[in-house]
A and B are shown apart, each in its own frame.
Chain A
Amino acid sequence: MKGPLWLAWRYVLFHKAKSLILVACIVLTTILPVAVKLLVWQFDQKIVARAASTPSVVGAKGSSLDLVLSALYFKQGVIEPVAYAEVERAYGDGLATAIPLHCMFTAMDYPVVGTSLEYFDYRELELGGGTLFVSLGDCVVGHKVAEMLSVNVGDQIISDRANVLDLAGQSPLKLNVVGVLEASRTPDDWAVFVDLKTAWVIQGLGHGHQDLNKESPDSPVLMASESGRIIANRGVVSYIEITDDNADSFHFHGDTDEFPVTAILVSASGFKEETILQGRYDSSDSEVQFVRPEIVVRDLMTIVFQVNRFFNANAILIGGSTAMLLVLVVLLSLRLRKREMETMFRLGCSRGTIVWLQVGEMGIIFGLAMVFVLLGSTWVWMISGDIVEGLLVNSR
């Protein structure tokens, strides 16, 4: 077999362009469905793993998928917030622990997630440096955010305006980076975590400004002052940074129980408690819903796999037509090489050896293609995690 294989190899080398086109045809036809399979599998693994690590989520009634995406991937603006009182209600009589999540704003284009310190234990997030947030205005940045923005502990990042055209709107807030998280290869890597109250300050529900009590009556910022009630104009200096000096001036107007949270991560202490909680939320007069992310995500994946089936059928059809084209190319090649084969036969080559020559040629082509498919698939496999992560993060 050495001779025919060597001849086949020489033929493949001589007809480089033809061989490369054939190899490319096989590689593209094969690697596309393989890559899609890998990506879908990776997507399934990632999204299900994230969902499975989140027992239940409470949020405003509406699309359960939107609620899950908001709670798990910090997707913004897709669901109405619920009142903070719901967090207290979830804690209620000790049926569960509840972690509020409020993600309505961004900082340097990364989602700002207002939450409590329990979130880090809940997600088993480790600090790579610094501390967790302890004061108003502190933030802990995810691994990727720190990497992409080149920020570290001690640096500051600025929250983005919700509407850049609304100059009279809430001013951006400078956030002090007090901690950087270790890489977790989850959406947490791509988020900026702040205390829930800091999130409300960013939203404009709380603010700090110059002490008007210290202003003289003829101060240009004062409009009126009567019986301890001070009315100031827009000239009042609002703080865009929370420091030790001005932290005391920050305050909230209104009842914080009515303040918004996007979603609440609920971890019931047992199956029974979870069932009781679900019963409460499932009542028709409730304005919030209780969802199990894993069930929602599996429903989504069922749709994805159904769509994938169409893609598989398409891949089979394309594969079949490519195979037929390859057969055609081989048959035409045989015709073109008829004289060469005839000469070999006349010289003393067996028909079997001639067949091996052809089989060897196709074997080399397929072998080369499979090497490229293997390399390509390995590469896709290596980057599929990042691709899927990017897809999920960018879907926000």
Chain B
Amino acid sequence: MIQIEDLKFQYPRAEFTLRLPQLVIESGQRVAIVGPSGCGKTTLLNLISGITLPRVGTVTVCGEEVSAMSDASRRNFRIAKIGMVFQQFELVEYLDVLSNILLPFSINSTLSKSSEVRCRAIEFAEAMGLKEKLARRPAQLSQGEQQRVAICRALITEPGVVLADEPTGNLDPENKRRILDLIFQLAEKQNQTLIVVTHDMGILSGFDRVIDFEEMRFSNTDKESSDAAHGAVGEQI
């Protein structure tokens, strides 16, 4: 479960402030976050994953208060409990597919790369239709394939929460549908909470909840009417 209480966040030297009085996302829920650019969707993902810290308020993920953790604890928490998928895939160009999937195990010493993990990576790749391409490098893959590798990388640590920032933003319609189905399938199989930031209104039907940030942005930027607006958004949420 993800629980956000009285959250307030502002980037240094920026006018925009993100305020969230309360947001609760149950385990296993599939949540889409929509809204115009710059309204704080990615910031929310960063707050949930502990990449950034709120000025005020608490963020609790899987029973652990992320906002109260030390830097090292947040890193370890992030790599173990959070899976991340990015719009630009962000694969490491000099690693092959298998090594990219296993990347979290190479960059954090708290995870150990056992043979079991290796087998799991190959299973994921197989499920994603990448079994024959394990030795290839990202540049040798299509965009759809690259995103599938990124999804495998996000899920390899069996995280409780998967955060996807525009995962279909760079894909053609056919791949878009396929990738979303794969994410849903795998998340459901492992009972993972899935939060997807998207601009694409056409894919919202597959989600359990949709959080529209457009109204929140309005309320967040207007301090005078924030309480009322939060209430309204909260209801909507």
Contacts and interface: CB of A to CB of B under 8 A. Distances in A.
B95 A348 contact: no
B94 A347 contact: no
Contact of B90 (A13, A15, A339): A339
Contacts of A339: 88, 90
Interface stretch (A3-11, A66-74, A189-197): A3-11
Nearest to B74: A348
Interface centre among B76, B95, B107, B137 (most CB of A within 10 A): B107
A63 interface: no
A10 B79 contact: no
Interface string A341-361: 001111111100100000000
A4 B107 contact: yes
Contacts of B51: 345-346
Contact of B93 (A3, A13, A14, A346): A14
Contact of A348 (B75, B90, B93): B75
A348 B99 contact: no
Contacts of B117: none
A343 B79 CA distance: 12
Contacts of B93: 14, 340
B104 A348 contact: yes
Given A7-B107, A349-B75, A340 B84 contact: no
A341 to B, nearest CB: 10
A11 B94 contact: yes
A349 B84 CA distance: 13
A348 B79 CA distance: 5
Contacts of A343: 86, 90, 92
Contacts of B75: 348-350
Interface string B93-137: 111000100011111110000000000000000000000000001
Please tell me the size bucket of the interface on A. Answer: 20 to 34
B117 to A, nearest CB: 13
B49 interface: yes
Contacts of A345: 51
Contact of B78 (A11, A348, A353): A348
Contacts of A15: 94
Interface in A305-348: 339-340, 343-348
A4 B105 CA distance: 10
Interface residues of B, number: 28
B92 A349 contact: no
A348 B76 contact: yes
Contact of A6 (B49, B86, B90, B106): B106
A345 B72 CA distance: 11
Given A346-B49, A346-B84, A3 B107 contact: yes
Interface centre among A339, A346, A349 (most CB of B within 10 A): A346
A349 to B, nearest CB: 4
A350 B111 CA distance: 13
A339 B90 CA distance: 8
A353 B107 contact: yes
B103 A10 contact: no
Nearest to A14: B94
A15 B109 CA distance: 25
Contacts of A340: 90, 92-93
B107 A10 contact: no
A13 B99 CA distance: 14
Nearest to B108: A348
B78 A347 contact: yes
Contacts of B72: 350
B19 to A, nearest CB: 24
Contact of A347 (B71, B95, B107, B137): B107
Interface centre among A11, A13, A339, A348 (most CB of B within 10 A): A348
A13 to B, nearest CB: 8
Interface in A11-52: 11, 13-15
A239 B130 CA distance: 92
Nearest to A344: B107
A111 B217 CA distance: 97
Nearest to B80: A348
Nearest to B150: A343
Contacts of A349: 75, 79, 107-108
A323 B90 CA distance: 32
B106 A3 contact: yes
Interface of B: 49, 51, 71-72, 75-76, 78-80, 82, 84, 86, 88, 90, 92-95, 99, 103-109, 137, 153
26 contacts: A3-B105, A3-B106, A3-B108, A3-B109, A4-B106, A4-B107, A7-B95, A7-B107, A10-B94, A11-B94, A339-B90, A343-B86, A344-B103, A345-B51, A346-B51, A347-B78, A347-B103, A347-B107, A347-B108, A348-B76, A348-B78, A348-B80, A348-B108, A349-B75, A350-B108, A353-B109
Given A7-B92, A348-B79, A348-B108, 15 more contacts: A3-B106, A3-B108, A6-B106, A7-B106, A11-B94, A345-B51, A346-B51, A346-B84, A347-B78, A347-B79, A347-B103, A347-B104, A347-B108, A348-B80, A349-B79
Interface of A: 3-4, 6-7, 10-11, 13-15, 339-340, 343-350, 353
Q: Would you list the 8 A-B pairs with minimal beta carbon distance, nearest first?
A: A348-B79, A14-B94, A349-B107, A3-B106, A343-B90, A348-B78, A348-B75, A11-B94
